[in-house]
Amino acid sequence: MPWSRIPKAQAGSFILEALVSLVIFAVGLIALMGMSAQAVSQIGQSKYRNDASFLASELIGTLWVSPVAPSAFDYDDWTTRVSALLPGGEAVVGDPPDDPDDLDCKDTGTGKPTGNTVCIKITWRDKDMTHQYLTTTRIERNP
């Protein structure tokens, strides 16, 4: 019989090789599942960043066509939309910072900019992280 010629030292080595290959395959599957979960999380973050950018651009477009100056514009409806669209969303509209490295709008106390340069800061929370989108623009009227 051919089975009788297998040395006793190699008996069961096929099972050991199969188990090692199964462990390697299982580790690969677990890593793939982890990468998939991370990708889904990043897609959600990308959506929130896109929403924040859209909301800020929408406000800037509205300010451009508004007949009133940015300091007289009513921002309540827009800030309500920010709160509704982003988890834990908050918006600050104010004056731009004096220092270009500062990542915060100057609070004017009125919730409105004092001049024609508008700083828009949108923050939102996802899990235990806080994210922000900040942009500044100047609104000028043609004579």
> Tokens for 100?
């270009």
How much is the average pLDDT of 43-59? 91
The Cα–Cα gap between 50 and 45 comes to 9
How much is the average pLDDT of 46-56? 92
**pLDDT in the model for residue 107:** 77
Residue 136 sits at φ, ψ, to 5 deg, of -135, 140
> Tokens for 42?
């990043």
How much is the average pLDDT of 14-40? 91
On the question of pLDDT at 111 being above 70, the answer is yes
Kindly indicate the confidence band of residue 20, based on its pLDDT and cuts at 50, 70 and 90. Answer: very high
The Cα–Cα gap between 124 and 133 comes to 9
**pLDDT in the model for residue 128:** 80
pTM: 0.71
Selection from 39, 43, 128, 37 nearest residue 87 by Cα? 128
**pLDDT in the model for residue 89:** 93
**pLDDT in the model for residue 4:** 60
**pLDDT in the model for residue 26:** 95
